[in-house]
A and B are shown apart, each in its own frame.
Chain A
Amino acid sequence: MLNVNNLYKTFAPGTVNEVKALIDVSLHIEEGCFTAVIGTNGSGKSTLLNAIAGSFKPDHGRINLFEHNITNWPEYKRASLIGRVFQNPFAGTAAGMTISENIALAMRRGKRRPLTAAITSRIRDEIAERVKTLKMGLEDRLDNPIGTLSGGQRQALTLLMASWLRPQLLLLDEHTAALDPKTAAKVSEITKEIITREKLTAMMVTHSMQQAVDLSDRIIMMHRGRIVEDLRDEMKARVRISDLMQTFERVQKLDLFDQSVAEILEQQFV
C-alpha cells in the first residue's frame, strides 16, 4: 500500500541551521491500517507526512502509493490520492463559502470541472446525509458560511471533506491539537468512525498518547529524524500509555550514550 524507502531530508544543508529532519526512514503501511505517529517536538513527524504528501522533494529515497511511484509527483497530483487535515481548523476550508459549497469543492477534488458547478438537489441530499453522520446538527446549516462555525465543527467538516472521495491515504497532522479537550475528544471519535466506516488507510500525527493508544492500529515513534519504535499487532494491543512514556524516556536517554560511554562499556562490560 504505502511504501517509504530510505527517505532522507536535510533542511538548510551545509549551514549552521542544518537540520537532518529525516534520516533513512523506511516504512511499509498496509491497506486499511490506521497508524499513529508520535514523537518529541522536531522529531520529523510533520516532515514525514509532508514528504509523503509532496510538499517538498526528499533528498533521497522513494515513495510508492499502491502501484504508483509518486516520488516525483507534484503535490497537486498526489492530492488526487491523498486527503489531508492540518492542525489549524481554518486551513482546509474557505471561510466565506457555505458548508455545502466547501464540500462540493472537495467532491470535485482532482477532477477537471469548473469550480462553481451547480449543486444539484441530489448532491445536496448526499451532503446532508453525510454531514448528519457527524452528529453536530450541521446538516441544518448547510447554507451558512463555514467561517461562522467553531473550530471543532470546522475540523470535523474538514475531516469529512478530506475523506469524501475515499482517498487512498488520509494524512492527519495534529488535527485535534488546536481544539479544547472536549471538542478534541469528539473530533477524535469522529476520526475513528470515519476511518473505520470508510476502511481508510491513515496516518495521524498526535501528541496525545491516549489518542495513539485508543484510536490506532499501529504506533510509530520518531526521534531525531528516525523511526525508533514501531508497535503493531499484538505489541500494539498490549501497549499502555506508561509504556510509551518509558519508551520516550529511553529514547531521549539514548542521546546521552556517546563515545565516552562506549569507552566505559568497553572497559567494564564483561
Chain B
Amino acid sequence: MQFRQQEKGKYLLVHASGRLDASWADHFSSTFKEYIRQGQHHILLEASEVSYLSSAGIRALVQVVKSIMAVQGSFQIIRASSFVHQTLQMTGFESWLKADFPDDLPAEDTEAQIPDESPFELYQLNGSTAMQLSVPATWVPWKAFNSNNLSSIRFGHQDFALGIGAPHQSDQDASMHMGEFLVVGGNVIYQPPREGDKPDFLLPEKAYLPEMHCLQALHCTGDMPHLLRFSPKGNKTYFGLGELAEKVLTETGSALAAFVIFAEIDGLVGSSIIQSPGLLKEDRIIPFPDIKEWLSFCGERVFPRQQALIFGMASKGLDGKKSPLLAGSTMHKNLFLHAHAAVFPYLPIESGVIKLKSVTEKLFKGPPPMALLHLLEDSRPSTGLGESTLIRGACWYTAINTNQEDTIWA
C-alpha cells in the first residue's frame, strides 16, 4: 500500500492506494497510529484507489478507529472504491463511509500556511488561583535517618507532592523502603529503592486514601487552574523541561509554581534512589564510586516515545540564595527545579482543553508505570545529556503560596 497525506485544517487527508490485506494490515495500522501520535485526530481516508479489503484489513481499520475514538477524534472513509464500499456495507461498517468530503474541509493545504503559529495554547480552568505549599519532611542527602523526622501524609484528590518516602505498611520497617515518589491528584507512584524493581502505585478509592511515610516531601493542596498545551510547530520539535517551567513561572507571575506535565517523551535525564536513605546511620558525604550504590544514573536519554507524568516545583529563586530542596538549573538562568517523572507506555490524549482528572483516570486504567526518575540536568561539556525534553502534551499549573520560605531557601 502507498499513502499520501495532506493537512487540511483540523483534518488529515490520507490518499491510500493498493490492497489492504493481511500483508499490509500491520503497516496500515502503524502508519495511522503514527498520524495519531503526531496529533492528527481527525482523519479522512480517501479510498478510491484501495482495490481490495480483507478481514485482516478490517481488523486494522477497527484498531485505528478505536485509537481515534479514544482521543475524541473522527474517522471517515471518502470515495471508497466499489469493492471497499461493498465490503464495509456487508460487514456492518458502513457508518465509516462518506460519499464526499466534509463541508468544513479547506480547499488548500494548510500545512506551511501559518509559519508563526504558536506551539503553545493557554487555557483557563476552574479552581482557586493558588495552592498552599507545606514542607512536612525535609531530609536532604545524605543525612542520618531518624524516624522522628518522618511525616505521615494521606493523599486525597486535591493533593500533589513529590519526595522520598515509603508506603504505609504496618508490618514492615519503613526505613528499609524509602524511595522516591510523586503524587498527582492523590494518585501516588512510588519507586522502591532497589534497582530493577518496578514502581508501585496507590490510588485513592472511596474511603481509602494512600498514606506515605515521608522523609522528604514538597506537598501542596488545591487546584491546577491553568492549562498549557504544547505541540511541535515548524522548527520547534521538542520542549525542554526548564523551558516549560519558565513558561509556567512567567504565566503565573509567581515566585514559586507547581506543575503537572503529561506528555510524550523525547528523552528523559535523571536518576533514582536505589538504596534506602533509611539505612544511613550518620550524616555522610558519599563520594564516588560509593555513590553508585545509592543512586542510579540513566546514562543516556531514556524512554523516547513513551509517556511521562511529571510533577514538579519551580522557582525563580530568592535573593540569590541556595535551596536544599530545589536544584539550581545549570542550563536556565534564575531557575530552580525539583521534578519527578513517572514513565508509562505511550498514551495519546485528546487535544484542546482536557481535565487532569480524566487523564489520570484513563492512565491508571491502563498498563502500570515502567519507571520513576528524579529529573536532572546534565550539562557536562560534550558528553552531557542535557535536560529532559518532551514532544507534545499538556501542562497544568498553579502559583504557589507558602509561609515556609525559610525551609525552602537556606
Stretch at the interface among A89-97, A110-118, A245-253: A245-253
**A262 proximal to B (CB < 8 A):** yes
Kindly report which residue of chain A lies nearest to residue B290, judged by CB atoms.
A262
- Once A267-B330, A270-B141 are accepted as A-B contacts, the answer to whether A243 and B196 lie under 8 Å apart by CB is yes
**B325 proximal to A (CB < 8 A):** yes
> In B258-287, which residues have CB < 8 Å from any A CB?
271, 287
**B219 proximal to A (CB < 8 A):** no
Chain B CB within 10 A, most for which of A259, A260, A262, A269? A269
Q: For B13, what are the chain A residues with a Cβ–Cβ distance below 8 Å?
A: none
Q: For A15, what are the chain B residues with a Cβ–Cβ distance below 8 Å?
A: none
Contact B374 A254, beta carbon cutoff 8 Å: no
**A264 proximal to B (CB < 8 A):** yes
Q: For A12, what are the chain B residues with a Cβ–Cβ distance below 8 Å?
A: none
Contact B295 A265, beta carbon cutoff 8 Å: yes
Contact A250 B195, beta carbon cutoff 8 Å: yes
Stretch at the interface among B16-24, B100-108, B204-212, B296-304: B296-304
Contact B378 A269, beta carbon cutoff 8 Å: no
> In A220-270, which residues have CB < 8 Å from any B CB?
229, 243, 246-247, 250, 253-254, 256-262, 264-265, 267-270
Q: For A243, what are the chain B residues with a Cβ–Cβ distance below 8 Å?
A: 196
> In B182-237, which residues have CB < 8 Å from any A CB?
195-196
0 or 1 for each of B375-395: is its CB under 8 Å from A? (1 = yes): 011111001000000000000
Contact B195 A253, beta carbon cutoff 8 Å: no
Kindly report which residue of chain A lies nearest to residue B325, judged by CB atoms.
A270
0 or 1 for each of A158-194: is its CB under 8 Å from B? (1 = yes): 0000000000000000000000000000000000000
Whole-angstrom distance between the Cβ of A255 and the nearest chain B Cβ: 8
Contact B380 A264, beta carbon cutoff 8 Å: yes
Contact B299 A269, beta carbon cutoff 8 Å: no
Kindly report which residue of chain A lies nearest to residue B322, judged by CB atoms.
A270
Q: For B324, what are the chain A residues with a Cβ–Cβ distance below 8 Å?
A: 270
Cβ-neighbour of A268 out of B140, B300, B325, B377 (below 8 A): B377
**B255 proximal to A (CB < 8 A):** no
Whole-angstrom distance between the Cβ of A226 and the nearest chain B Cβ: 12
Kindly report which residue of chain B lies nearest to residue A243, judged by CB atoms.
B196
A262 to B288, CA, bound (A): 6
A133 to B285, CA, bound (A): 61
Q: Interface residues of B, CB < 8 Å — how many? A: 31
Number of A-B contacts (CB under 8 A): 64
Kindly report which residue of chain B lies nearest to residue A262, judged by CB atoms.
B288
Cβ-neighbour of A265 out of B291, B323, B338 (below 8 A): B291
A243 to B194, CA, bound (A): 14
A96 to B56, CA, bound (A): 59
Q: For B326, what are the chain A residues with a Cβ–Cβ distance below 8 Å?
A: 270
**B333 proximal to A (CB < 8 A):** no
Contact B271 A270, beta carbon cutoff 8 Å: no
Kindly report which residue of chain A lies nearest to residue B287, judged by CB atoms.
A262
Chain B CB within 10 A, most for which of A246, A258, A261? A261
> In B137-181, which residues have CB < 8 Å from any A CB?
140-141
- Once A264-B378, A265-B297, A269-B374 are accepted as A-B contacts, the answer to whether A259 and B327 lie under 8 Å apart by CB is no
**B292 proximal to A (CB < 8 A):** yes
Q: For B298, what are the chain A residues with a Cβ–Cβ distance below 8 Å?
A: 253
Q: For B328, what are the chain A residues with a Cβ–Cβ distance below 8 Å?
A: 267-268
- Once A259-B288, A269-B141 are accepted as A-B contacts, the answer to whether A250 and B196 lie under 8 Å apart by CB is yes
Contact A267 B327, beta carbon cutoff 8 Å: yes
Q: For B327, what are the chain A residues with a Cβ–Cβ distance below 8 Å?
A: 267-270
A267 to B291, CA, bound (A): 13
A265 to B376, CA, bound (A): 8
A256 to B328, CA, bound (A): 24
Whole-angstrom distance between the Cβ of A41 and the nearest chain B Cβ: 20
Chain A CB within 10 A, most for which of B291, B323, B383? B291
Q: For A246, what are the chain B residues with a Cβ–Cβ distance below 8 Å?
A: 196
Chain A residues near B (Cβ < 8 Å): 229, 243, 246-247, 250, 253-254, 256-262, 264-265, 267-270
Chain B residues near A (Cβ < 8 Å): 140-141, 195-196, 271, 287-289, 291-292, 295-300, 323-328, 330, 338, 374, 376-380, 383
Given contacts A250-B195, A267-B327, A269-B141, 8 further A-B contacts (CB under 8 A): A253-B299, A256-B300, A257-B299, A258-B288, A260-B380, A261-B378, A270-B141, A270-B325
Chosen A-B contacts, 14 in total, with CB atoms closer than 8 Å, are A250-B296, A253-B297, A253-B298, A253-B300, A256-B299, A262-B288, A262-B289, A264-B376, A264-B377, A268-B327, A268-B330, A268-B377, A269-B271, A270-B140
